[in-house]
Amino acid sequence: MSASARPFRRILVANRGEIAVRIIRACRDLDIATVAVFSTADRDALHVRLADAAICVGPPAPAGSYLHQRNLLSAAHLAGAEAVHPGYGFLAENADFATAVEQCGLTWIGPAPSSIRTLGDKSGGREAAAAAGVPVLEGGPLPEQSAEAAEFADGIGYPLMLKAAAGGGGRGMRVVRDRAGLRTALQSAAKEAVAAFGNGELIVERLLERPRHIEVQVFGDSFGRAVQLGERDCSIQRRHQKLLEEAPAPRLGADLRRSLGEAALRLAKRVGYANAGTVEFLVDGARFYFLEMNTRIQVEHPVTEAVTGVDLVKLQIVAAAGEPLGLPDGIGTSGHAIECRVNAEDPETFAPSPGTLRRYRPPAGPGVRVDSHCFEGAEMPPHYDSLLAKVVAHGRDRAEAISRMARALREFEVDGIHTTLPLMRRIVESRPFADAELDTGFLERLKRQGEG
């Protein structure tokens, strides 16, 4: 982890937005030069300004720029990069791109393509988890024929959850309450999955009503060693997309916390996992079930960094260079951390709100960190994810973290576009959140309280 080691001389950052900025700053800490890529819509973006070099890779549409593998590889070759960091989203979990990077003689900063291929598909992930002795929900891949799919679903029992086998971020997911609603749900979920991931395959699982969503951060190196860095609670969501995360998960219980960490580590070791990864679980009372494994750095990684003191992005780079982790088996935590995602969206409808940031004044002060790519006068284009900033508050305990987060959200000023700041303030200042009454139905209950 020493900056003097300088594992690479130059890294291409194959992403945009706040995660590209985050990677560039980690590289600076390690005295590594960076190459940014950008679309014509991002010519004046912060990640372009911060990098040591920048190359345009195409038009605004992601398919012609940030998802265009040949353009990205050409940029890496032209810039003399030795490694590629994909961040999250775009091509971060694309095994074919990871393979192409390695075939070009570059280092892929992430897990091996074989791990991405096995775990990136939900069916493969379920099989690997079951083989590692990790509980999985009843279900599996859906047959392609509708009659066979209906029979398979009937065998599991309703209600059910349909999921895109190759997807994430809530896309291609549908709740099915009975057989009458199955056909329509199958068609719409498959259509959305094809549009988002180019793959219409679906899996189905027994639905848990309002579980907690808990994930465990794991990290492996090329020497076969893996560690877990604690868990995060990601239960507060809208449309199966996370809004707020915190570490450690409150009101979890020592036995369940230990069991979740052990299960995540068993899966990582079973597949010989290297680099950063997150094993996600649904928790129903004292029982838990494997949900999926994300083979990349997570959006919410800063809360784990805050409570462990481990820079996960720097660790990704060092591990990819073939260095051992240099971490103890039992990594302790200190205090409590909360992350709020602030999106360029209408806080009521969640409709995207692109435009110009006429005012952008992020919070600061003790225990507050803001990861963002924004500045006053910046354009928020309509072509990409709506994330503006991640506000992270760290305190000695959960109460202090909540207090600092509430203060930070009140200080945060954005004008020119709609944002989810009003919603995040309401969540953090609510009594149910203070009491840690957390599950995936949290936002729905909070909305009903407001209407009542």
Active site residues: 296
Catalogue the E-assigned strands of 344-398: 355-356, 359-361, 368-372, 379-380, 387-395
Phi, psi (rounded to 5 degrees) for 45: -70, 160
Rounded distance, CA 55 to CA 142, Å? 43
- Would you say 46 and 21 are in contact if contact means Cβ atoms under 8 Å apart? yes
Please, where are the H alpha helices in 30-110?
46-50, 69-79, 95-103
DSSP letters, 278-293, are EEEEEEETTEEEEEEE
Rounded distance, CA 149 to CA 55, Å? 47
For residue 69, the number of C-alpha atoms closer than 13 Å in the C-beta half-sphere is: 14
Query: Which one, of 143, 160, 161, 144, lies nearest residue 152 by Cα?
Result: 143
Rounded distance, CA 308 to CA 297, Å? 16
Rounded distance, CA 192 to CA 369, Å? 35
